[in-house]
């Protein structure tokens, strides 16, 4: 098992992989544009096609001073480099980190401790959640509610009537074959019981209901060998000897149907030893089945005595021909609120699968109680499988059946791992919850591993990405909601940033080609870069999760990061900005009756204000009301305010530094007027239908042909 935990794949999260692709393709476009601009400007300069402010040719062959040539060349290179800087979305990793850090802090309040930052975003695209049963779906507060001796049930009032020989054996089995302890400080105080919930329930039942004396029994016996509980075998055993006796006793305790299979005798109610024939095995099986159907965990106790060979005790525990001592049923109630949590996962399009080590019938009963399974679904229609079955499928069979499986019972750690691997292979983004050491390989393999903070073992926590502090399945759903929030925040930011990229590249490119000069200077472009990267990231990354996040289907691994809807919004805004700014570039001087410098300031100011207003548009990718919930996001409003103030300072006060000229009221009004128009444009463009499921939904093909369709960079 350790080897499967340790092999650490250097895999990227789905979102990281996509972001890297996106960044490199944008970078390539930016580089191409920059090289083109560089070439065009150089050629124009050296062929004498550029003129300085006084209208004189800048380059007149050998008459030009070397220092002037150098100045111009450096200027041209600076312009090209700035284009690259603007084009490369270096703010993207920052935005992602900011979003993740912010949501991580908020998730802590919602009982989820994030160990690996990227897990939050991955959770946003989760399509399947594999949950374990005990402790996550149930309270993990077990209590023995049924006891069967042979084929008869023993009621509470008859507990003391158990025949003394059987009682004695049971007492030895319970007392020695356990990892739990009982500490009684005073004769009257309530004993303190430690151990796993299953152990605690059994010890408490033995001590309180059966009146056994556990600690006293332990002192009288000598343990020869212990086989600790293992998740693979689902049983634990001890080999022991009573003082001075020439026989050894094997005691087993474990999964009822598995222990039963090792037995060939049983004690009946009156303490008589009877041999177990096939018919009786079926009857006992039915008893286990009926307990399990009531969602009880069934544990059986079995025993065998072996005579020692001339004083040499064998170290081996007997595994066949045992005598069944009794069956107990442990009740572990469902957590309140689990049903609603499962419902909300389902309505969010996320599959919930239960993987447990418990009996099929117990698993099925709990799954029905939690709403994972419909009462009609069971093994016949492939919704419930046992670990062995699943393991023994051929790989093809497994792939074919896996989507139907909702419950896997009696699973070993390997089965859990296998399930996760298959789901991933099928293209699912898999979240796994687990508490035990046996869950560690699956937690590691999962795209998102969620471990339990209270009951979870250290190994499970170490292998997980997120620790659920209250062990509650409802918190898993909260993590899902936060994950989706992170994902959509990043999408919003990308849309916002790409709009600026496309617009800035287009303007500089067209202007450079046509007039040989770039309207936006290096300092101005870097300021724009700052707004869209750092401040934009902060503003858009800190949105709270909204309720409509859980209405969408999961994005999974295949959906492109930039959806058609985003392309539509982005291109509309970028087109508008480019159109306006190029108009200003070529007609601005005449329209406003101003000189070159003021015209350039107008372009710069309009460009920045357009981004400020477009930042509001970016808040909602699909909804038309872009102001919804804005009062709750104080940081957003503050950043917009700061951006505007800084812009005023840039234009009005930092003349030299930003190469700007002061603008009068009318010119400011014009800039703001143009920028405000991006709101109605954003609203109008959202009326253009874009099918988000173009490839998957054949019914939509008619409308698709009419709707926008862009090819996405892959
Ligand atoms: N202390 C114990 N001694 C003997 N048998 C046990 C003990 N604890 C559990 N079992 C048996 O093992 C089964 C659980 O196995 P395991 O611990 O591998 O499950 P799991 O995957 O952790 O299950 P879950 O989903 O319930 O957390 C139980 O159904 C029970 O029959
Ligand atoms: Ca478990």
Q: Is 432 left (phi over 0), alpha (psi -120 to 50) or beta?
A: beta
The rounded distance, in Å, linking the Cα atoms of 175 and 207 is: 10
For ligand 2, the distance from its centroid to the CA atom of residue 413, given in whole angstroms, is 10
For ligand 1, atom 18, the nearest C-alpha belongs to: 231
Q: What is the band of 19 on the pLDDT scale with cuts at 50, 70, 90?
A: confident
Q: 676 or 534: whose pLDDT is higher?
A: 676
Task: Decide if 273 is inside a domain.
Answer: yes
Question: Is residue 358 within 6 Å of ligand 1 at its C-beta?
Answer: yes
For residue 430 the two structure tokens come to 């898999």
Predicted pLDDT of residue 700: 36
Same domain, 282 and 392: no
For ligand 1, atom 14, the nearest C-alpha belongs to: 357
For ligand 1, atom 26, the nearest C-alpha belongs to: 134
Task: Decide if 711 is inside a domain.
Answer: no
Same domain, 500 and 587: yes
Find the CATH number of the domain harbouring 194: 3.40.1110.10
What mean pLDDT value characterizes the chain?
83
Q: Is the pLDDT of residue 97 over 70?
A: yes
Q: Is the pLDDT of residue 698 over 70?
A: no
Q: Is the pLDDT of residue 11 over 80?
A: no
Query: Is there a contact between 295 and 145 (Cβ–Cβ < 8 Å)?
Result: no
Task: Decide if 99 is inside a domain.
Answer: no
| 397: nearest Cα among 416, 418, 427, 411 | 418
Give the nearest ligand 1 atom to 177 CA: 3
Residue ranges making up the domain that contains 598: 2-92+479-545+561-694
The mean per-residue pLDDT over the stretch 540-569 comes to 81
Query: Is there a contact between 353 and 405 (Cβ–Cβ < 8 Å)?
Result: yes
Q: What is the band of 4 on the pLDDT scale with cuts at 50, 70, 90?
A: very low
Same domain, 237 and 254: yes
Same domain, 583 and 471: no
The mean per-residue pLDDT over the stretch 57-76 comes to 77
Query: % helix / strand / coil in the chain, to the nearest 5?
Result: 55, 15, 30
For ligand 1, atom 22, the nearest C-alpha belongs to: 357
Same domain, 264 and 326: yes
Predicted pLDDT of residue 450: 93
Predicted pLDDT of residue 159: 67
The rounded distance, in Å, linking the Cα atoms of 392 and 394 is: 6
Residue 300's H or E segment, with its range, is strand 296-307
Terminal C-alpha separation, the chain? 38
Domain boundary among the residues 436, 452, 478 is at: 478
Could you tell me which residues come within 8 angstroms of residue 95 by beta carbon, excluding any fewer than 6 positions away? 489, 490, 493, 497, 533, 536, 537, 540, 541
Question: Is residue 329 within 6 Å of ligand 1 at its C-beta?
Answer: no
Residue 152's H or E segment, with its range, is strand 152-153
Same domain, 156 and 190: yes
Find the CATH number of the domain harbouring 610: 1.20.1110.10
Q: What is the band of 350 on the pLDDT scale with cuts at 50, 70, 90?
A: very high
Predicted pLDDT of residue 699: 35
Predicted pLDDT of residue 431: 94
Ligand nearest to the CA of 414: 1
Predicted pLDDT of residue 311: 61
Q: 569 or 19: whose pLDDT is higher?
A: 569
Query: Is there a contact between 304 and 318 (Cβ–Cβ < 8 Å)?
Result: yes
| 131: nearest Cα among 338, 316, 293 | 338
Q: Which of 369-373, 507-511, 621-625, 671-675 is predicted least confidently?
A: 621-625
For ligand 2, the distance from its centroid to the CA atom of residue 325, given in whole angstroms, is 26
Q: What is the pLDDT of residues 36-47, one digit of tens each?
A: 888 888 888 888
Return the SS3 of 226: strand
Same domain, 466 and 493: no
For ligand 2, the distance from its centroid to the CA atom of residue 435, given in whole angstroms, is 5
CA of residue 317 relative to chain centroid, distance: 44
Same domain, 532 and 439: no
The rounded distance, in Å, linking the Cα atoms of 547 and 593 is: 51
Q: Is the pLDDT of residue 554 over 80?
A: yes
Task: Decide if 712 is inside a domain.
Answer: no
Ligand nearest to the CA of 330: 1
Q: What is the pLDDT of residues 221-270, one digit of tens each?
A: 888 899 999 888 899 999 988 877 788 899 999 999 999 999 999 998 88
| 520: nearest Cα among 56, 12, 83 | 83
Q: What is the pLDDT of residues 455-491, one digit of tens each?
A: 888 999 999 999 999 888 889 988 999 988 888 888 8
Task: Decide if 102 is inside a domain.
Answer: no
The rounded distance, in Å, linking the Cα atoms of 517 and 37 is: 10
Domain boundary among the residues 331, 350, 370 is at: 331
Q: What is the 3-state secondary structure (H, E, C) of 365-399?
A: HHHHHHCCCCCCCCCCCCCEEEHHHHHHCCHHHHH
Task: Decide if 45 is inside a domain.
Answer: yes
Q: State how many domains the chain has.
A: 3
Q: Is the pLDDT of residue 422 over 90?
A: yes
Same domain, 245 and 307: yes
Query: Is there a contact between 97 and 541 (Cβ–Cβ < 8 Å)?
Result: no
Task: Decide if 674 is inside a domain.
Answer: yes
Question: Is residue 295 within 6 Å of ligand 1 at its C-beta?
Answer: no
% of the chain at pLDDT higher than 90:
26
Give the nearest ligand 1 atom to 199 CA: 1
Question: Is residue 111 within 6 Å of ligand 1 at its C-beta?
Answer: no
Quote the pTM value.
0.79
Q: What is the band of 65 on the pLDDT scale with cuts at 50, 70, 90?
A: confident
Q: What is the pLDDT of residues 127-154, one digit of tens each?
A: 999 998 888 888 888 999 999 988 888 8
Count of positions (residues) in the chain? 714
Question: Is residue 229 within 6 Å of ligand 1 at its C-beta?
Answer: yes
For residue 222 the two structure tokens come to 């000598």
Angle at 326 between CA 214 and CA 334, to 5 degrees: 85
Same domain, 474 and 484: no
Return the SS3 of 462: helix
The two beta strands, 384-386 and 407-409, are parallel
Predicted pLDDT of residue 129: 94
Same domain, 173 and 279: yes
Q: What is the band of 3 on the pLDDT scale with cuts at 50, 70, 90?
A: very low
The rounded distance, in Å, linking the Cα atoms of 361 and 371 is: 15
Domain boundary among the residues 463, 478, 493 is at: 478
Predicted pLDDT of residue 710: 35
Task: Decide if 639 is inside a domain.
Answer: yes
Q: In Å, how far are 292, 646, 711 from 89, measured between CA atoms?
A: 57, 22, 20
The mean per-residue pLDDT over the stretch 590-607 comes to 83
Predicted pLDDT of residue 714: 35
Pocket test for ligand 1, best of 140, 328, 357, 417 (most atoms within 8 A of CB): 357
% of the chain at pLDDT higher than 70:
91
Find the CATH number of the domain harbouring 346: 3.40.50.1000
Same domain, 416 and 516: no
């Amino acid at each position: 098992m350790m080897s499967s935990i340790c092999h650490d794949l250097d895999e990227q999260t789905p979102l990281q992989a996509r972001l890297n692709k996106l960044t490199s393709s944008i970078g390539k476009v930016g580089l191409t544009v920059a090289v083109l601009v560089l070439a065009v400007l150089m050629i124009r300069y050296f062929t004498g096609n550029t003129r300085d402010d006084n209208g004189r040719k800048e380059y007149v062959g050998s008459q030009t001073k070397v220092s002037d040539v150098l100045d111009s060349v450096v200027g041209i290179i600076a312009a090209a480099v700035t284009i690259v800087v603007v084009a490369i979305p270096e703010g993207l990793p920052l935005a992602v980190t900011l979003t993740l850090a912010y949501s991580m802090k908020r998730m802590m309040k919602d009982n989820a401790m994030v160990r690996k930052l990227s897990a939050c975003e991955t959770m946003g695209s989760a399509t399947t959640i594999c949950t374990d049963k005990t402790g996550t779906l149930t309270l993990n507060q077990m209590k023995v509610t049924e006891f069967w001796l042979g084929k008869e049930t023993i009621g509470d009032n008859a507990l003391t009537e158990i025949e003394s020989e059987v009682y004695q054996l049971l007492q030895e089995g319970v007392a020695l074959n356990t990892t739990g302890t009982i500490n009684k400080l005073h004769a009257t105080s309530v004993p303190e019981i430690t151990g796993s919930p299953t152990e605690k329930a059994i010890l408490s039942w033995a001590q309180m209901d059966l009146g056994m004396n556990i600690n006293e029994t332990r002192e009288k016996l000598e343990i020869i060998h212990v086989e600790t509980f293992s998740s693979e075998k689902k049983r634990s055993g001890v080999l022991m000897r009573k003082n001075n006796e020439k026989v050894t006793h094997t005691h087993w305790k474990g999964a009822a149907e598995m222990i039963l299979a090792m037995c060939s005798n049983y004690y009946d109610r009156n303490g008589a030893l009877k041999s177990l024939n096939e018919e009786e095995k079926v009857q006992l099986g039915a008893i286990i089945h009926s307990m399990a159907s009531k969602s009880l965990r069934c544990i059986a106790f079995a025993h065998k005595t072996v005579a020692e060979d001339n004083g040499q005790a064998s170290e081996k525990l007997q595994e066949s021909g045992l005598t069944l001592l009794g069956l107990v049923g442990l009740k572990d109630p469902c957590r309140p609120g689990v049903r609603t949590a499962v419902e909300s996962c389902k309505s969010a399009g996320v599959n919930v699968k239960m993987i447990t080590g418990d009996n099929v019938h117990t698993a099925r009963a709990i799954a029905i109680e939690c709403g994972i399974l419909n009462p009609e679904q069971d093994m016949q229609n492939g919704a419930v499988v046992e670990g062995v079955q699943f393991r023994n499928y051929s790989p093809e069979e497994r792939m074919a059946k896996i989507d139907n499986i909702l419950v896997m019972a009696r699973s070993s750690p390997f089965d859990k791992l296998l399930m996760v691997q298959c789901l991933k292979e099928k293209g699912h983004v898999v979240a796994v919850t687990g508490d035990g050491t046996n869950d560690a390989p699956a937690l590691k393999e999962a795209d998102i591993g969620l471990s339990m903070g209270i009951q979870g073992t250290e190994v499970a926590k170490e292998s997980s990405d997120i620790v659920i502090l209250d062990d509650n399945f409802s918190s898993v759903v909260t993590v899902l909601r936060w994950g989706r929030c992170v994902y959509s925040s990043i999408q919003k930011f990308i849309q916002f940033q790409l709009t600026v990229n496309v617009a800035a590249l287009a303007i500089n490119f067209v202007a450079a080609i046509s007039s040989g000069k770039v309207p936006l200077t290096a300092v101005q472009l870097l300021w724009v870069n700052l707004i869209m990267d750092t401040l934009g990231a902060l503003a858009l990354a800190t949105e709270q999760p909204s309720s409509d996040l859980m209405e969408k289907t999961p994005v999974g691994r295949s959906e492109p990061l930039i959806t058609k809807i985003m392309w539509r919004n982005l291109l509309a805004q970028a087109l508008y900005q480019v159109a306006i700014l190029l108009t200003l570039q070529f007609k601005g001087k005449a329209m406003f009756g101003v000189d070159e410098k003021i015209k350039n300031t107008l372009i710069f100011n309009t460009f920045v204000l357009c981004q400020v207003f477009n930042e509001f548009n970016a808040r909602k990718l699909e909804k038309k009301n872009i102001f919804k919930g804005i009062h709750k996001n104080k940081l957003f409003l503050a950043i917009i305010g700061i951006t505007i103030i800084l812009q005023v300072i840039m234009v009005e006060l930092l003349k030299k530094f930003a190469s700007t000229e002061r603008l009068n009221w009318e010119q400011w009004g014009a800039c703001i007027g143009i920028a405000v128009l991006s709101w109605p444009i954003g609203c109008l463009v959202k009326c253009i239908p874009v099918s988000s499921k173009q490839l998957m939904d054949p019914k939509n093909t008619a409308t698709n042909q009419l709707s926008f369709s862009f090819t996405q960079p892959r």
